[in-house]
A and B are shown apart, each in its own frame.
Chain A
């Protein structure tokens, strides 16, 4: 069920043991990292390792994303060339700006054309990690039709701003709100910055909730044990699931009866609400709430 991005797990691209097991922790996406997790002398071997992993290993329903190196470095261009051919589901592009994304779009387009065949255009997930990127976020998200989501990079952003990154995360409030709002406006997923303390589940839960409150749809994880906490925060509540079930039932009944309009408890329901209900039930199913969602499908 590719499409949900509640959790995106970073996996070092130079660690075969972690790569081969990357899909068992239940994250919606895996991000094979060629950038920060990999030292300069291991860049080429990591690139080869990730290429072979993408080609050889079946990661099931988990979305496969590769974080390449910045495109203004030699490594970044080499990553991009090899990865387009290896065929992940998306490229994560660090230090993103509108201009760099336009360039990347052109480069990937050329490589895809040269490779030929009937290829799905490779998706982009830019990382918003500079003041410039935050301020030009709307332009940036429109720079390429390949963009499906954006990740806020809190560490690099605070470094750019010359301010301290704190556990409470108040310094990110503006950037978080702005990025989440712009992503929603552009119809792409908004992925919150990872929480650095892998031993602090309570802090992670609070931080995740903070992101969800301002409109993030998911969060990056830097340790597999963070996934469950993130999913718990992004899990739909029972009341939400109940409401979504009612909406879908009403929609299916309206379809059977040939009615154009759908009403639940006398309230008209339009397409975006149905879409949200479907997405929510999809989430519920991903969380293992089988009975409810199965009932909806089975009862139709």
Chain B
């Protein structure tokens, strides 16, 4: 059957089950019943600290076929997922479902566990590296489920993603299970993505390398959610967790695009007192922030909040008084970690508060402007950030679809040509974010407004900002670089792309091997 973004989706996908096809942004809004949580009460005098991960597996009665979950705040420095999976492998468990909010190159040992059948299911919001490549090459028994940050929180809260044991990497933890991300050798700041797991998993194990006296201060995830505590030598490599500082790009192409995006934001009429803003940590995104900052200074605009993954650059804007508050689901650098620790205006938010479409209202719905990237964008403004030009998984929505849907103005910034590859296509290889939720495309050779947003086009033109059609931009790129052939795939489905509301927006098929 064809879904709302004209993708052919099977009614049932083996290993995934029955499919609800994507119906459109904000079209699937059922009455919600959150999942019941079964728990084992801890009475007075209960000792939660266990000796080892192995002992935690016993205490949680982990069995074949169960689901274990992990958060990705330690990013490519994470040591917890690999330690837990090694212990699971050592006891010969099979058919384990790994529900990690994101997977990075450091998680490469999962590949051999996939090949052995220890791991047969994976759910993630973003993945990059050997695991993603192995999945694209058909090495996982069942299709990977790619979610969004808000969609994962939704899935856990309603029981679509039922977690048996959540292993929560805890940079600091006390003996009752209160934990935070701001202390210890692996401090990473906000632990926003771990909250749904802590609240809804049947068993919760905090894995820490930094035990602190009771009570931990601050408390991000509190003791009533934590069953067990395991102390290990190290939960991660600080080098891979947060960068020292985030530097602004000097890339002239990126700056050219960023300046155009900032001018469009100014012309949109949204850049007034109370302005709210989110952008990623990439070069162009930060450069947009730099130009927006300049406009805010000149016009003496005081914004309400910036949100999402937070960088030192956003911290500077907060401290300069350009925003009243930061809402932080994840810290990207040490400056953000320190600010989060010390500044009460730098506030915590959980993954659900950030982007869950089926709670009583998420932060993304308050966003004025969101800056997004794209691996590909098609002439219907659908965006792919899941698969690369060869069809291999090398990303995922993360918060892309959530913020696009919620914000008043969702801007995709991208080069028209990356290397020699045109980015605008007739059809994207994989739909991650529906074009319905994307308002504007900004490239080095021009700006295209989604035809749904005539109002926006008028505002830009009134401000003297020329616009063009996405078809014309596509033609400009193809005149220079030619038209790329579509990527060839095998029939087998290796991934299901879930929209944030749990409907299926696309599937990923196995990469065709040209050089066997």
A13 adjacent to chain B (CB < 8 Å)? no
- Find A24's partner among B250, B420, B444, B481 (CB 8 Å cutoff): B444
Chain A residues near B417 (CB, 8 Å)? 17, 20-21
Chain A residues near B481 (CB, 8 Å)? 20
Chain A residues near B250 (CB, 8 Å)? 198-199, 225
Whether the pair B252, A225 counts as a contact (CB closer than 8 A) is yes
Nearest residue in A to B419 (C-beta to C-beta)?
A17
Whether the pair B420, A25 counts as a contact (CB closer than 8 A) is no
B454 adjacent to chain A (CB < 8 Å)? no
**A20 to B478 alpha-carbon distance, docked (Å):** 12
**A198 to B445 alpha-carbon distance, docked (Å):** 24
Chain A residues near B487 (CB, 8 Å)? none
A269–chain B nearest beta-carbon distance, Å: 32
Interface residues of B in 223-240 (CB under 8 A from A): none
B191 adjacent to chain A (CB < 8 Å)? no
Nearest residue in A to B420 (C-beta to C-beta)?
A16
- B: interface residue count bin: 10 to 19
Whether the pair A24, B419 counts as a contact (CB closer than 8 A) is no
A239 adjacent to chain B (CB < 8 Å)? no
A249 adjacent to chain B (CB < 8 Å)? no
Contact with B along A218-251 (1 / 0, CB 8 A): 0000011100000000000000000000000000
Whether the pair B252, A223 counts as a contact (CB closer than 8 A) is yes
Whether the pair B252, A25 counts as a contact (CB closer than 8 A) is yes
Chain A residues near B252 (CB, 8 Å)? 25, 223-225
Nearest residue in A to B445 (C-beta to C-beta)?
A24
Chain B residues near A17 (CB, 8 Å)? 417, 419-420
Whether the pair B444, A21 counts as a contact (CB closer than 8 A) is yes
**A20 to B252 alpha-carbon distance, docked (Å):** 14
Nearest residue in A to B252 (C-beta to C-beta)?
A224
B408–chain A nearest beta-carbon distance, Å: 28
**A206 to B256 alpha-carbon distance, docked (Å):** 24
A57 adjacent to chain B (CB < 8 Å)? yes
Contact with B along A32-73 (1 / 0, CB 8 A): 000000000000000000000000111000000000000000
Whether the pair A24, B253 counts as a contact (CB closer than 8 A) is yes
Nearest residue in A to B480 (C-beta to C-beta)?
A20
Query: 9 A-B residue contacts at CB 8 Å?
Result: A16-B420, A17-B419, A20-B417, A21-B417, A21-B444, A57-B480, A199-B250, A223-B252, A224-B256
- Interface residues of A, Cβ cutoff 8 Å to B: 16-17, 20-21, 24-25, 56-58, 198-199, 223-225, 290
Further pairs besides A21-B253, A24-B444, A225-B250: 10, Cβ < 8 Å = A17-B417, A17-B419, A17-B420, A21-B444, A24-B445, A57-B479, A58-B479, A224-B252, A224-B256, A225-B255
